[in-house]
Amino acid sequence: MFVTLPKVFPLSQVVKMKIALWIAMLSVVFQMFDDLLIPVWNDESIAVAVMTVAVVWFLFPPLQRTAVALFVGGLLLAFFSGWYSEANHTWLAVWTLAPIVLFASWWKEHTYLDYIRLTLGVVMVVAALQKVIAGTYFDGSYIAWLSYYGSITEQTFSFLCDRSTVEVCGWFVAIGFVAVLWQLVVGILLLGNYKGTLVYFIEFSFLLFVGYFANEMNFQVLNIALLCMAFRLGMPFWLALLSIVLLGVDVIGVGTVVMMWYL
């Protein structure tokens, strides 16, 4: 009477882990792709071209180890040719993805996967502490600045205060507190190796919300892919598709997509 639908694309755990890595690599290429648009070849554009080839090669199983090595080579070349101006996205990619060449079967190496988790945990805690040091979240001034001068998504909370002038109201202070606390909790949960549905919800929802609010999905896709690897969950097909869509949204601009949605 009831028809049981077969699972679409039943993927093994190993394949899911490899998809997560592929999405992480793809996010790095998307982040640096504009280097390929300049009319001259330099270290950075060569590096991005190498990484692009590696991302394509990775789709062919016999070439995957070579592709990963090639990608790491391109990543390091890009990084060391302009480390002082690289986005934090690239720094995080170097710290987390470069060591993968040490492991032939990285997806079952607890040492490497725990290293990713700890690195992400440290980064989240440090990012929260940097906000504490700057003080601009606890006094609400940064949220106020974004609410007045920011992109359409950064102005999400502008309705809470007087829109006619740049002013800090209690709501902005509260939002600043919540943002720092949320990030700190994400970091502590990662460092403590806590797992479970609620933990995953806290962590993934933070990344997605920050990606929307800060108008930058690319960095969050890298983080999501790394989390999928660190938790040994791998990346299911639907999440990989969503990640690719988000990378495309990032190219257009989250704010532009939101405006298109409403207009």
Partner 1 sequence: MMHFLYNKKNILTGLLLVHVAWLSFHMIIHAKDMVSPWRLGGYAMYTVPKNDSHLWVYNLVPSQPLPAYTWQLAHENWGFNFYCKPISASSMQNFFAANPHLVGVDLRLELSTRQFNPETVQLDPRFIGKTIVVWEDETTFSYSRSMCDDRVKQVYFD
Alpha-carbon gap, residue 179 to 133, rounded angstroms? 14
Q: Does 214 bind partner 1 (CB under 8 A)?
A: yes
215: left (phi over 0), alpha (psi -120 to 50) or beta: left
Considering only 9-17, 28-36, 66-74, 88-96, which stretch makes contact with partner 1 by CB under 8 A? 88-96
Please report whether residue 167 would count as binding partner 1 according to CB under 8 A.
Answer: yes
Q: Give the nearer residue to partner 1 in terms of CB position, either 127 or 242.
A: 127
Window contacting partner 1 (CB under 8 A); options: 50-58, 86-94, 222-230, 250-258: 86-94
For Cα atoms 17, 22, 26, give the angle at the middle one, nearest 5 degrees. 150
CA gap 250, 170 in Å, rounded: 31
The CB-of-13 to partner 1 minimum distance in angstroms stands at: 22
Please answer whether residues 183 and 202 qualify as being in contact, where contact means their C-beta atoms are separated by less than 8 angstroms.
Answer: no
In angstroms, rounded to a whole number, what is the distance separating the alpha carbons of residues 258 and 253?
9
* 76 sits near partner 1 (criterion: CB under 8 A): no
| Helices of type H across 192-236 | 197-213, 218-230
Query: Does residue 208 belong to the site contacting partner 1 (CB under 8 A)?
Result: no
Q: State which of residues 119, 155, 160, 208 lies at the interface with partner 1 (CB under 8 A).
A: 119
Among 137, 206, 212, 231, binds partner 1 (CB under 8 A): 137
123 binds partner 1 (CB under 8 A): yes
Cα 86 from Cα 113, distance rounded (Å): 25
Angle between helices 110-134 and 218-230 (to 10 degrees): 140
Per CB under 8 A, 148 contacts partner 1: yes
Q: Does 66 bind partner 1 (CB under 8 A)?
A: no
Which stretches of the chain bind partner 1, using CB under 8 A?
82-86, 88, 91-92, 95, 99, 102-103, 111-112, 115, 118-119, 122-123, 126-127, 129-131, 133-137, 139, 141-142, 144-145, 148-149, 166-168, 214
